[in-house]
């Protein structure tokens, strides 16, 4: 994924103590204005995370009112 230079992105994540969220299935969300393929977003983030021992396993588009802290199950 190419970086989106003209866009400030804020990432919201669910904490391990948030109700219904499991430590091995962390959830985060962000909004971007560009229409990018979900697989490209996931792969681009993983490219930036290397060589850290963390990876995005799944990415999907969600409804507008989804919030990682309050909607994750």
Residues known to be catalytic: 18
Beta-bridge mates of residue 12: 29
22: preceding bond cis by omega (within 30 degrees): no
Q: Confirm if 56 and 13 have CB atoms less than 8 A apart.
A: no
Cα separation, 38 vs 57, whole angstroms: 12
């Amino acid at each position: 994924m190419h970086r989106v230079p003209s866009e400030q992105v804020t990432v919201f994540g669910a904490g391990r103590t948030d109700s219904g969220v499991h430590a091995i299935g962390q959830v985060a969300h962000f909004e971007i204005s560009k229409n990018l393929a979900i697989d490209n977003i996931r792969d681009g983030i993983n490219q930036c995370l290397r060589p850290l021992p963390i990876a995005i396993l799944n990415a999907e588009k969600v409804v507008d009112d989804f919030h990682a802290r309050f909607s994750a199950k």
